[in-house]
Amino acid sequence: MPYEIHGLMPFIYVGLIMLGVVFSLIRFLVGPTAPDRVVATDILTTITTVVLVVLALFFDRQIYLDVALVYAVLAFTAVVAIARFLEGGL
């Protein structure tokens, strides 16, 4: 039985998350240079971490937080690697 969150709050969470996803996706598609797209991907990674935490809240399982922890620890590696590639030092 999932933990009941009453009222309007879950709708607000999901609405704000989807708004963030839409805006960063627009930046990813439009962004004229590669660094714009890298930043958009990084923001999407952060939003993914938030989504995983919110899903752990919705399903009422603490152990799901481990998945979010993996992204929280490792997410910056890809951005650093692409930055090093763009300056030619990979």
Partner 1 sequence: MHSLILFMVLGLSLVLVVATLVIWLSKDLLVAILASAIVSLIASIFFLVLQAPDVAITEAAIGAGLTTGILLYAMKIAGRYEDD
Partner 2 sequence: MIRKIVAFIFAFYFGFILYSFIYTHFPFGERPLKGVAAHYVEKGVQEEGATNIVTSIVTLYRGFDTLGEVTVLFLAATGLGLLLAGWKEEEKEKPEPTLIMETTTKYLFPLVLLFGSYIFIHGHLTPGGGFPAGVVIATGYFMMFIAQKEFKPSEYLLSATESFAGTLYVITGLLGLALAFSFLANVAPLGVPNTVFSAGIIPIIYIIIGFKVGSEMTGILQHMKEV
Binding site for partner 1 (CB under 8 A): 2, 4-5, 10-11, 14, 17-18, 21, 25, 28-29, 34, 37-38, 41, 44-45, 48, 51-52, 55, 58-59, 61, 63-64, 66-67, 70-71, 74-75, 77-78, 81-82, 85, 90
Length of the chain: 90
The rounded distance, in Å, linking the Cα atoms of 22 and 40 is: 11
6: helix, coil or strand? Answer: coil
Q: Does 89 bind partner 2 (CB under 8 A)?
A: yes
Q: Does 74 bind partner 2 (CB under 8 A)?
A: yes
